[in-house]
Amino acid sequence: MNLDLKNKRAIVCGSTQGIGKAVALELAAMGANVTLIARNEQALKQTKSELSNNGSQLHSYICADFSEPQKLKELVDQFIQRSGHVNILVNNTGGPPAGPIINAKTEDFISAFNNHLICNHILTQACMEGMKQSGYGRIINVISTSVKQALPNLGVSNTIRAAVGNWAKTMANELGKFGITVNNVLPGATATQRLSTIIENKALKTNSNNDAVKKEMLHEIPLGRFAEASEVAAAVAFLASPAAAYINGINLPVDGGRTASL
């Protein structure tokens, strides 16, 4: 099975912590030249220093804030002009704040739509021509299992993730003829800071405690544990590889079996 990413350029968004960082580390270990995108430059420098390097790999970073889509576009366009085409794009952005959908403000939806769908679209447009020319394109969107099954107390996230899922399926249909695949990885409960925050918030709102909330969540997962970020990264890395050339337009849950639908 060909998992070699030597001489492939990958952009990984939200790559200084959690799943995004795990993806960046995995792709670098597979030989890719990795470009990190996040908004904290110090964290970017630290993560870049942790990436595997066989001596010929060229890693880099772009300091950008997804709340400023136009600025993101300018920075990525400039990077591609300097560094050449991108073969792999991993769209990954921290989820919107938790809460019931009925309490969500209009600006919550607009902000989440910009951060997730609009920025994904901008990055895809920026990378697409290079993928066509090189004959190798992999676009992987790290979303959520809420694409398949709405999750309680994540109203804005459920709404926006579904929009991204449909955007990605449409993009897969349009770009497939160029040898560019577009797939979604749907993490379940993953041991990251975001999960800790969700647990803490739920404990406060239900007048419970963190351990009780955690136990309730684990009860819903057939494997009986939360995912490690590296396990989600492994799925992303496979979809980015030559071995996944005929996989296109799918939603791949990495959730320990929690999602009830097929």
CATH of the domain at 124: 3.40.50.720
pLDDT-based confidence at residue 4 (cuts at 50, 70, 90): very high
Q: Is residue 100 part of a domain?
A: yes
Q: Is residue 238 part of a domain?
A: yes
Taking residues 27-50, what's their average pLDDT?
Answer: 98
Q: How many domains does the chain have?
A: 1
* Residue 160 pLDDT > 90: yes
Q: Is residue 208 part of a domain?
A: no
Domain around 13: 9-187+228-254
Q: Is residue 197 part of a domain?
A: no
Taking residues 222-239, what's their average pLDDT?
Answer: 98
pLDDT-based confidence at residue 262 (cuts at 50, 70, 90): confident
pTM over 0.85? The answer is yes
Q: Is residue 31 part of a domain?
A: yes
**Amino acid found at 51:** L
Q: What is the four-CA torsion angle of 239, 245, 247, 248, rounded to 10 degrees?
A: 100
Express each pLDDT in 89-147 by its tens digit: 999 999 898 889 999 999 999 999 999 999 999 999 999 999 999 999 999 999 999 99
Long-range CB pairs of 199-207 (<8 Å, 24+ gap) are 201/98, 201/153, 202/98, 202/153, 205/153
DSSP-derived secondary structure letter, 116: I
Q: CB of 15 within 8 A of CB of 24?
A: yes
Q: Is residue 259 part of a domain?
A: no
